[in-house]
Every structure is written in structure tokens, then in C-alpha cells.
Amino acid sequence: MSDFYTLSLEQQAGRLMSLGRSALQHWNLTVDVELTLIKHRENAVFKVIDTNGAMYALRIHRHGYHNDDALRSELNWMTYLKDRGVLTPSVIHTKDCELFQVVATNEVPEPRQCDLLSWIDGNPLGSIEAGVSGEDQTLVTTYQSIGELAAKVHNITNTWQHPNDFSRQAWDEDGLIGESPIWGRFWELEQLTTQQKGLLFKARDKAKKQLQEFGKQPDRYGLIHCDLLPENLLQAQEGLYLIDFDDSGFGWHLFEFATSMFFHLGEPHFDTIYNAMVEGYRSVRELPDEHLALLPTFFLIRGLVYLGWGHTRRETETAQTLTPMMIEAVTAMAEDFIS
């Protein structure tokens, strides 16, 4: 068991699949379900096909990212949004009416939180690596829809009196770029030179001051999805589904824009999708120009957060692929930001 983290991702996934089969005993499923690995980056996600043809998504959460209260809050928020018209997966309760189950096996070092969601028959809009494809008019329609969806989520959330025991991380100035950021300290990334670290520190300090001046009024700050990437948006027959609330928490609404558009920076179509997303958002919710003026700050912060992620997830193929590009892009952004 102690050798789990020295195994290849494929070998780890095999052990997690075994844990998943143990977990599924807690739901009303038949014994001989079919399990197929969909993703193993942060969490492990498996497609489940029951012998009666019913399909689900089983998530096996990585150890230590969220405690049980935080995961319960995430699933309750998803249900609240779904009940108010946002297309998200349904949470499937266990036989004991629980939202998730903590499962331990001899093949995996720690007990793992497991939850079961309805399967969405849709196609991701794209991925971090491949981006979003399509002609300009297709991109306009796509990002208008993303803007509308983000605004709808923010509207619903801002009126929600969530329970007193609701617990989610805060993507505030400390959680993003403080001394112990949620995704890790970007300045500990080994590939950064001393000069680059100094530049990024200056940019961080300026950005932190701007965040503090911007404030956290409900018209700009609240519960956000925080991971509006194309792979977390599924186009289905009934509309655009929002999935993977694993990183959701309290933060600035503009951070959704920075996340959604970050990997389009510098592309010829950037202005097209920027204008489309803003137009879509404003069709549902107010977004003042003075708020949008701070978007370059949030792009820089998103970049710093990605560098922190690259450090703490340096063993992953995605981090190894993206980190050199991210360093080049974010240091250039920092130079522009400071000047």
C-alpha cells in the first residue's frame, strides 16, 4: 500500500477502480457494473454502467483536498443550483441517504471520499491542452452561453441563505496569492529564476493591493465555480451543463472570466470571445465597466495560481507540459502589469 504514489498513473487508476467497486456497494446498483476510467488528474472519475443500462459518474476524491463538511457543502450547492434551473449533474444518494461515502481498501493508502452523480450525455466544449475549436460565429455563441451561465450562477448564489455549516474555501487575496495559497506557493516552483521570482513578487504585491481596494461587496464577490474551463462545460441536447465543482468556493466574479479566457490570451480570436462572454453575462446580470477594468489583474492572478498548481502537481503530465509555457506567459504579463 505504501508504494501507491510511486506507481504510474495507470497503475494507480487500477487500484482506485478496485476501491470504486467497493464504494459502489453503498448505492443501489447491481454487483456486475461496468467501470471505465474517464479522468485521473486531480480526482479519479469513472463512468459506471449498471446492468440495467443506467449510467453514472463515480468520483473518487484525492486525499486531503476537502474535508467531509466541504464536500457535503459542494454537493448541496450543486443540488440548489439544479433545483433553480442550472444544468448540473444530479447527486445520487447512497442506500443510507448520504451524499457520499468514505471508503478504505488495502490497495490505496488513505480512505477516499466517493460520490455518485448522474451521467451527462454531452460533449466537452474543449480542453486546456486543445482549447475550444470553431469559427468565430461558433465561438461567439459558445462564449455568450458561458457568460449567461456564469451570471445565472452568480445571481442564484447571491440570494442563497446557505446553511450555517456551509464550508467552502475562499479564493480571496490570501487564498489566491497570500503566504499559503490554496493551490501552492508559485515562488517555490523550481524552474523560476531569482530574477523571475522578484518580478512576480512585485506584481503579486500590486495585485493584492488592488484586490483589497476592490472589496467584496455582493455585486462582485460570492460563491463561484472557479473552474470554468471548456472541459467542465458539456454541450448536451438540452443545453450547456456545468460540471466539476471541486474547486468551487467564495471569490470574485471576475475570476470566472479570467479562468474561462486565460488560455485564449494572445490569440487572434480573444476580443471576439471576450466581447461575447461579457455580452452574455450582461444579458443576465449587471457588470459595470469599472469592474471589467480590473480584469488584467485577475488574468495575472490566475497565472500566478497556475504556477502554484504547477509546483504542487509537478508529478502530473499536465503540469510538466504546461509549466514552461506558463512561466514565459506569466512573467511577460507581470512585466506589463508592473509597468
Cell 490569440, located at residue:
267
Q: Do 232 and 244 contact (CB within 8 A), yes or no? A: yes
Q: What is the pLDDT of residues 41-100, one digit of tens each?
A: 889 999 999 999 999 999 999 999 999 999 999 999 999 999 999 999 999 999 999 999
Q: What is the pLDDT of residues 193-250, one digit of tens each?
A: 999 999 999 999 999 999 999 999 999 999 999 999 999 999 999 999 999 999 999 9
pLDDT at 279: 98
C-alpha 255/C-alpha 301 separation (Å) is 9
- pLDDT mean over 4-19: 90
Residue 6 has pLDDT above 90, yes or no: no
Residue 9 has pLDDT above 90, yes or no: no
pLDDT at 333: 96
Q: What is the pLDDT of residues 271-329, one digit of tens each?
A: 999 999 999 999 999 999 999 999 999 999 999 999 998 888 777 777 778 889 999 99
- Return the C-alpha cell found at 256: 470566472
Q: Is 85 exposed, middle or buried (0-12, 13-18, 19+ CB in 10 A)?
A: exposed
Q: Is the dihedral of CA 315, 317, 318, 322 positive or negative?
A: positive
C-alpha 95/C-alpha 72 separation (Å) is 16
- Helix (H) or strand (E) segment spanning residue 101: strand 101-103
Q: Confirm whether pTM is higher than 0.95.
A: no
pLDDT at 130: 67
Q: Is 255 exposed, middle or buried (0-12, 13-18, 19+ CB in 10 A)?
A: buried
pLDDT at 1: 53
Domains for the chain: give ranges and CATH numbers.
4-119 (3.30.200.20), 126-338 (3.90.1200.10)
Q: What is the pLDDT of residues 250-259, one digit of tens each?
A: 999 999 999 9
